[in-house]
Structure 1
């Protein structure tokens, strides 16, 4: 058995589901997971993603792949000029007068 099918079985068991019901929840044929255990059959990435969604886990949880979390870069100058950018602190909106001061500081005024 492969790591993928072992992980699918493990998560299905934790959720009290059969492999057939997991496949059906994912919109796949009910015996597809059993077919993947054979060496001559391998799933598509879309099928694995559908199984992951049906089990409420990530694609990486099933495949064992590691993904690097790359930091998101933000163009601060563009963001402060965009009227649709929400500026908050600790989940609360920044008062308009404080926001204007912050924008001026970020612009270097």
Structure 2
């Protein structure tokens, strides 16, 4: 897995809110120890926890993963035009057909899926550009 900046970004975001690790952990349904391990880069959050943290801090998963310096997940500066078009086409082609077990997703669930997909996509592209 590529080097991450998750811990540093989580610390900075928590500091901006002037909150303790305990307060953040409780808000997202984690133990303080679990959250501490993320901040100290001992463990990485799974995709579901990553989304919870991104939603709590109101940033993109891409930002937490270190794929962009923009908290809102705008396209990384190193992305090529082809990268941008590939992701845009995929998301447009699949935006209204997202289901889970045959059941449609709510708008919020679709946003979460999109954030996760974008994070995975930019991770893969970032590795190619190294």
Does residue 35 of structure 2 align to residue 33 of structure 1?
yes
8 Å CA contact retained: 1:11, 1:55: yes
Q: Distance in 2 between matches of 1:11 and 1:38?
A: 15
Superposition deviation, residue 19 in structure 1? 2.1
Superposition deviation, residue 38 in structure 1? 5.1
Superposition deviation, residue 42 in structure 1? 2.7
Gapped regions of structure 1 (runs ≥ 5)? 74-109
More helix by share: 2
Task: Detail structure 1 runs of 4+ shifted over 4 Å in the superposition.
Answer: 66-69
C-alpha change, 1:38 and 1:65, in structure 2 (3 Å) is closer
After TM superposition, the score normalised by the length of structure 1 is 0.53
Match of 2:54 in 1: 52
Q: Distance in 2 between matches of 1:58 and 1:14?
A: 16
Gapped regions of structure 2 (runs ≥ 5)? 69-74, 76-83, 94-130
Q: Distance in 2 between matches of 1:11 and 1:5?
A: 10
Match of 2:63 in 1: 61
Match of 1:20 in 2: 22
What is the alpha-carbon root mean square deviation over aligned residues? 2.2
Q: Distance in 1 between matches of 2:15 and 2:37?
A: 18
Match of 1:103 in 2: none
Determine which structure has more spread, i.e. the larger CA radius of gyration.
1
Q: Distance in 1 between matches of 2:57 and 2:23?
A: 10
8 Å CA contact retained: 1:52, 1:58: yes
Match of 2:123 in 1: none
